[in-house]
Amino acid sequence: MEVSNFHSVVVVRCVKQPLDLRGKRFGRLLVLDKPPKRIGVRKSIGWDCLCNCGTKKSIISYFLTSGLVNSCGCLHREAAGQFKGYGEISGSFWTQIKGHSRGRVFTITIQEAWELFLEQNRQCAITGVELSFGTKEYVPKSNSRILGRTASLDRIDSTGGYVHSNVQWVHKRINMMKGTLTMNEFLDWCQRVTKWKFEVVRD
């Protein structure tokens, strides 16, 4: 409740506090232990949720409590037989990764890649930066586009193929910088850059 005094007139305004949904489960969704935030066009109260399939998604509070939403969307896709991805890795993104393999050995499965992503705690294997597969946004005349995708599947040994023991999830910019370098070569160049810039600044 807020109370204000203006020209001897007391105004009392009740401020409705949002329900605390942290730790509660709604269907396949578990509300994470994080404070609510404003989401959507109308800036409604929303909560970060973790779906049973491993997907993280922000859901409007009313949609949860009313039962309108009880999964990240995987439940509907599975029911319709349209789900071609695994976890947060879409079928189209996985096809794109395989297309960039350019004939190299490709034995890792999309399920193994998703499990590896979770094993890395959703973080870049080189920098520790949090990774994301992005969110889909509708765009008129072009159907949709993916925003905020930063996850990129890197070959640890660039001369090898896409096998489970030779891949890691990294930030897409790190993958671009690493290029065809080996991990040792890449880290060596990173150290050289850091050392040189530090010496220049110090001088």
**116-173 pLDDT per residue, tens:** 999 999 999 999 999 998 876 544 444 455 678 899 999 999 889 999 999 999 999 9
In angstroms, rounded to a whole number, what is the distance separating the alpha carbons of residues 35 and 48? 8
Start-end of CATH 3.30.40.220 domains in the chain: 84-203
pTM score: 0.58
Residue in the structure block whose two tokens are 């080189």: 126
Per-residue tokens: 191? 């150290």
Of the candidates 79, 31, 71, the one whose C-alpha atom is nearest the C-alpha of residue 52 is 71
Of the candidates 77, 74, 23, the one whose C-alpha atom is nearest the C-alpha of residue 47 is 23
**75-109 pLDDT per residue, tens:** 776 666 555 788 889 888 898 898 888 888 999 99
Helix crossing, 91-99 with 110-119: angle to 10°? 100
| Sign of the alpha-carbon torsion through 31, 37, 39, 45 | positive
CATH class name, domain 84-203: alpha beta
